[in-house]
């Protein structure tokens, strides 16, 4: 029996995921949470085999939660699910300690396949991302480390990506469950880290990066 905790702040998405998992007789969801903070409590109480984590959570991000789980329960495996483009976040999720990355739009059988691969000791990403990871290792460094965005935190990268997709401050705040003031603070820090002088420069840089990553 594989015991799983699901952490996702969207009730319907969480319910659908739980139903898909429990359709297989040897998979049982032993706990659920809508935030990383609550999820860590559930993980500590249940000590599951696997935690399925959404990247975008209110408060602590999903990637931060992955790192926390690695620290408090190193034997527990984690699988990240997200609406975000895999090419932008899969490498970062693996570097954080996750054993796989699945897009939310994938069919339920893909999620089950990912769960089984992770529980069998493997890492689950799409073939395209797997090739990028292998090429990065073959050339002696990880692909992500070539990017100037290596210096952005996980949450800053989310804000940067959404900026590049054309979302305004209020829209980003709503999507990431943050206040407008907090998003503005993230934008200010991004500008400093990337040495950008204005909001217009930030927007241009973000759009170019998103388009470039999608083309890779």
Statement: residue 140 has pLDDT above 60: no
- If one counts the domains in the chain, the total is 2
20 and 103, same domain (yes or no): yes
Give the span between the Cα atoms of 173 and 28, in whole angstroms: 34
Residues 119, 160, single domain; the answer is no
**pLDDT tens-digit readout, 48-107:** 999 999 988 888 889 889 999 999 999 999 999 988 777 778 888 888 899 999 988 888
Per residue in 166-214, pLDDT (tens digit) is: 999 999 999 888 899 999 999 999 998 888 888 899 999 998 888 876 5
Strand partners, 155: none
Q: Are 62 and 81 contained in the same domain?
A: yes
Q: From the CA atom positions of the chain, what is the Rg in Å?
A: 17
- Three-state DSSP at 201 gives helix
Q: Cα dihedral angle (116, 213, 36, 120), rounded to 10 degrees?
A: 10
Provide, rounded to the nearest whole percent, the portion of the chain with pLDDT above 70.
90
Least confident of 31-35, 45-49, 130-134, 139-143: 139-143
In the predicted structure, residue 130 carries a pLDDT above the cut 90: no
Rounded Cα distance, 147 and 153, in Å = 13
Percent of the chain with pLDDT over 90: 55
- How far is it, in rounded angstroms, from Cα 208 to Cα 199? 14
Q: Specify burial of residue 199 (Cβ count, 10 A radius: 0-12, 13-18, 19+).
A: middle
Question: Which DSSP symbol is given to 141?
Answer: S
Tell me the CATH number at 153: 1.10.10.10
Select the more confidently predicted residue: 22 or 148.
Answer: 22
156 and 128 belong to one structural domain: no
CATH code: domain of residue 114: 3.40.50.2300
Task: Report the predicted TM-score, pTM, of the whole model to 2 decimal places.
Answer: 0.71
For residues 125 and 119, the model is more confident at 119
Domain membership of residue 64 as a residue range = 2-138
Residues 107, 187 within the same domain:
no
């Amino acid at each position: 029996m594989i015991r799983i905790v699901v952490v996702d702040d969207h009730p319907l998405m969480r319910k659908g995921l739980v139903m898909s998992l429990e359709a297989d007789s040897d998979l049982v969801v032993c706990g659920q949470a809508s935030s990383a903070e609550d999820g860590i409590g559930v993980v500590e109480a249940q000590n599951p085999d696997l935690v399925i984590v959404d990247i975008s959570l209110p408060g602590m991000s999903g990637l931060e939660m992955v790192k926390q789980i690695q620290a408090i329960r190193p034997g527990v495996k984690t699988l990240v699910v997200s609406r975000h483009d895999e090419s932008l976040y899969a490498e970062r999720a693996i570097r954080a300690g996750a054993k796989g990355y699945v897009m939310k739009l994938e069919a339920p059988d893909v999620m089950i396949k990912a769960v089984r691969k992770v529980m069998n000791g493997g890492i689950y990403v799409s073939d395209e991302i797997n090739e990028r990871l292998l090429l990065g290792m073959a050339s002696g460094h990880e692909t992500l480390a070539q990017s100037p965005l290596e210096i952005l935190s996980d949450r800053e990268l989310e804000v940067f990506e959404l900026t590049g997709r054309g979302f305004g401050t209020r829209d980003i705040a709503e999507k990431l469950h943050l206040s407008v003031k907090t998003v503005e603070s993230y934008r200010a820090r991004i500008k400093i880290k990337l040495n950008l002088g204005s909001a217009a420069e930030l927007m241009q840089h973000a759009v170019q990066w998103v388009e470039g990553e999608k083309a890779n």
